[in-house]
Amino acid sequence: MDDHAAEDRTTRESAAEGGATVASVGEFGLIRQVTEGRTQPSTTLLGPGDDAAVVAAPDGRVVVSTDVLVQGVHFRLDWSSAEQVGRKAVAVNLADIAAMGAVPTSVVVGLACPSDTKAALVNELVDGLAAEAERARVGLVGGDMVTADQFVISITALGDLGGRAPVTRSGARPGDVVAVCGRLGWAAAGLAVLGRGFRSPVGVVNAQRFPEPPYSAGPSAAIAGATAMIDVSDGLLADLGHLAESSRVGIDVHTDRLPVPRKLTDVGSALGADPMRWILTGGEDHALAATFPSFTDLPEGWQRIGDVLMPDTGITVDGAPYEQETGWEHWR
Contacts of 175 (CB under 8 A, 6+ apart): 293, 294, 307, 308
Annotated ligand binding at 96? The verdict is: yes
Sequence letter at residue 274: D
In angstroms, the Cα distances linking 144 to 43, 52, 57, 94 are: 21, 10, 23, 19
Does residue 125 contact residue 71 with C-beta atoms inside 8 Å? no
Annotated ligand binding at 294? The verdict is: no
C-alpha to C-alpha distance for 225 and 244, rounded to whole angstroms: 18
Annotated ligand binding at 66? The verdict is: yes
Q: Can you list the alpha helix ranges (DSSP code H) found in 79-201?
A: 82-98, 119-135, 186-195
In angstroms, the Cα distances linking 279 to 133, 247, 261, 314 are: 27, 23, 10, 19
Annotated ligand binding at 106? The verdict is: no
Residue 314's nearest CA partner among 255, 237, 260, 257 is 237
Annotated ligand binding at 143? The verdict is: yes
CA dihedral sign of residues 202, 203, 204, 210: positive
Annotated ligand binding at 149? The verdict is: no
Does residue 228 contact residue 290 with C-beta atoms inside 8 Å? yes
Annotated ligand binding at 234? The verdict is: yes
Annotated ligand binding at 2? The verdict is: no
Annotated ligand binding at 176? The verdict is: no
Annotated ligand binding at 312? The verdict is: no
Strand ranges in the chain using DSSP code E only, listed in sequence order? 44-46, 54-55, 63-70, 103-113, 139-147, 152-160, 177-181, 228-232, 250-253, 287-292, 303-309, 315-317, 320-321
Helix (H/G/I), strand (E/B), else coil: 257: helix
Residue 252's nearest CA partner among 170, 301, 327, 321 is 321
Annotated ligand binding at 190? The verdict is: no
Annotated ligand binding at 231? The verdict is: yes
Annotated ligand binding at 233? The verdict is: yes
Annotated ligand binding at 144? The verdict is: yes
| Known binding residues for substrate | 74, 284, 328
| Known binding residues for ATP | 143-144, 169, 233
| Known binding residues | 51, 65-67, 74, 96, 143-144, 169, 231, 233-234, 284, 328
| Known binding residues for Mg(2+) | 51, 65-67, 96, 144, 231, 234
